[in-house]
Chains A and B, each alone.
Chain A
């Protein structure tokens, strides 16, 4: 195996010059994106450097409770991020609970299953495997779940008179919202299905590319990438199903009435 080419600070500076050039050009053209761009670039540098340090210390003392703590923090942030992406905000701790629980299913459970039965490191919670795997699952399933949830709430809100009309005709709550659920499931799954379909032809997935750059044999990297794709797809699917199930039950009360006042923070607008 070739020796890994180490990046130095000046190397990164050169890449940063590209960003600076972009900021300069957009400022000249009055495109008003410079400030956001700079802040985002600084954030990514600081956050990644910090996570590098955190990972370094976790890797050097690989104890279960540190791994669990780190995973929990990641999960909570992901759950919060899903809520932040919703156009219509869910109400109270219930909303956070729904999104945290679905992320738990989509990422936590899947990661543990993959570690115990597929990758089998020793011990099973070895942080070099656990943290990247969980991070990748959280990051990728989060998109699908956020999309599915947004579509469900948004469409149900827009079509509330149709839902009520269906209730008036004697349909159950689940029948009345079935079409919208099907639609939301599709919305949540399409991105990951597309990326499976184009993987290797149009796009080289980031993880695989990273491994190859770091010197792994391509076929080994490919096997890991296939594993990740399957895990992400399964996680997204189970996560979206969970979120659709929980939200559509929350949307109706025990008398099968549509109750956005219980679900959303500000039902009037």
Chain B
């Protein structure tokens, strides 16, 4: 009896891994959203509409109220840094503080970073293992953007929050990134919120699309 109720309930809801209920930040109407494993939703809106702030709050970097749940775990129930390992935010502009690229990968390990690198992903974004020895100052903004995507994937996050992840890339490289993220979501059964100004891109990557306008999240 309990089993069938549970089955019915799961059928009714679908499997939800990342759930926002009345999730509120300043300047934005409460947001309710459910993401399923492997799903990618698109988010657009004018500059300053609050897309970035929403993503920051989802990574628990800004104050928020309402409910935020990942796999039945409330955001507040565990350590904040563990939450951010699972809910990874890729900012529009990445920051690098060491001299070499590799030092930013696998910060916990004392090596040049190549041990925890996904070779396939590295190759697909147009790099070889050598990239770990590159000087950060020599990297172009596009290279940094692709490297920062590789960097957050090291933690094997379950939710990707991507803030304009292809803004500095040429169309060909942008396609590579789109494909890589799609494959990652499938392989890891992770989910993703993809912020972009390009409606075409969101058509390609996202199964559902939302837009922030006049301080509220609505369907695109």
Contacts and interface: CB of A to CB of B under 8 A. Distances in A.
Interface in B66-98: 76, 79-82, 84-85, 88-89, 91, 93-95, 97
Contacts of B93: 161
Contacts of B88: 168-170
Contact of B81 (A159, A162, A164, A170): A170
Contacts of B76: 255
A257 B84 contact: no
A165 B94 contact: yes
Contact of B155 (A162, A165, A169, A179): A169
B80 A168 contact: no
Given A168-B61, A171-B107, A256 B97 contact: no
Contacts of A171: 81, 107
A169 B91 CA distance: 11
A257 B62 CA distance: 7
A179 B97 contact: yes
Contacts of A173: 81
Nearest to B94: A165
A172 B62 contact: no
B178 to A, nearest CB: 21
Interface string A170-201: 11110100010000000000000000000000
Interface residues of B, number: 23
B59 interface: yes
Contacts of A168: 59, 61, 84, 88-89, 91, 152
B94 A256 contact: no
Interface string A154-166: 0000010110111
A159 B98 CA distance: 13
A175 B104 CA distance: 13
Counting contact residues on chain A (CB < 8 A from B), the size range is 10 to 19
B51 interface: no
A181 to B, nearest CB: 14
Nearest to B93: A161
B209 interface: no
B83 to A, nearest CB: 8
A255 B58 CA distance: 12
A167 interface: yes
Interface majority SS on A: helix, strand, loop or mixed? helix
B91 A167 contact: no
Contacts of A255: 60, 76, 80
B151 interface: yes
A170 B95 contact: no
A151 B119 CA distance: 40
B85 A257 contact: no
Nearest to A179: B97
- 4 tightest CB-CB pairs across the interface, nearest first? A170-B85, A165-B95, A256-B80, A255-B80
Interface of B: 59-63, 76, 79-82, 84-85, 88-89, 91, 93-95, 97, 107, 151-152, 155
23 contacts: A161-B93, A162-B95, A164-B91, A164-B95, A165-B91, A166-B97, A167-B81, A167-B84, A168-B61, A168-B88, A168-B89, A168-B91, A168-B152, A169-B84, A169-B85, A170-B155, A171-B81, A172-B81, A173-B81, A179-B97, A255-B80, A256-B79, A257-B63
Given A170-B88, A170-B155, 15 more contacts: A159-B97, A165-B95, A165-B97, A166-B97, A168-B84, A169-B88, A169-B107, A169-B151, A169-B155, A170-B85, A172-B79, A255-B80, A256-B79, A256-B80, A257-B80
